[in-house]
Structure 1
Amino acid sequence: MPRGDKSSYTDKQKRQAQHIEEGYEARGVPEKEAEARAWATVNKETGGGKKSGSGRGQPVDRVSARKGGRLGGAASASRTAAQRSASAKKAAATRKRNAAARAASH
């Protein structure tokens, strides 16, 4: 099997790689680099290509996904208390306005 052949990967692994690649591209990573990183991540998490067969299953390591989730809070953490408070007040006002609009339409 030549290098780069993805035939031994499951459909789920291919979907995972596509989703990860889109995330990298959204952050400005070049297309080829994003694809390489995505497949590296899938390989790290699942142990490479897996097709069905007795005794071939290995547990999936989701450490990369957990790391991404933790990193996601960095933007919120860098905001001041006043900024967070203003945002919360604006959201509350929007919810109140929407609720009033819904009540008026019924």
Structure 2
Amino acid sequence: MPRGSNAKRERQYEHIKDSAKDRGESEERAEEIAARTVNKERARSGESRTASRTSTKDMSSSRRGGLRSHSGSGGPTRDQLYNEARQRGVKGRSNMTKAQLAKALGR
């Protein structure tokens, strides 16, 4: 638990740590996630001595709720689309690009 915290932040830390462990994170990684989140919230609310610009200006961790997770994800891969097309019996699928497969599958 980060130093200088109050009871609310300790509860928040434990809750975040437990949630991370429930998602399959290791004990060490869960503690890191919880500490970083609590420290950022403390910085945003003025409870810490120092705070980075991103800690105070950025969207809050609780509000963000994973919005940035997998931001570069382009959906299913071409191979996944191809396999689905094969299961559906789409003609000419072997020569199609990812975009063409997606269109043929109605995505």
What's the TM-score bracket when you normalise by the shorter of the two chains? 0.3 to 0.5
Of structures 1 and 2, the one scoring higher in RCO (CA 8 A, sep 6+) is 1
TM-score (norm 1): 0.45
TM-score under structure 2 length normalisation:
0.44
The structure carrying a bigger helix percent of its residues is: 1
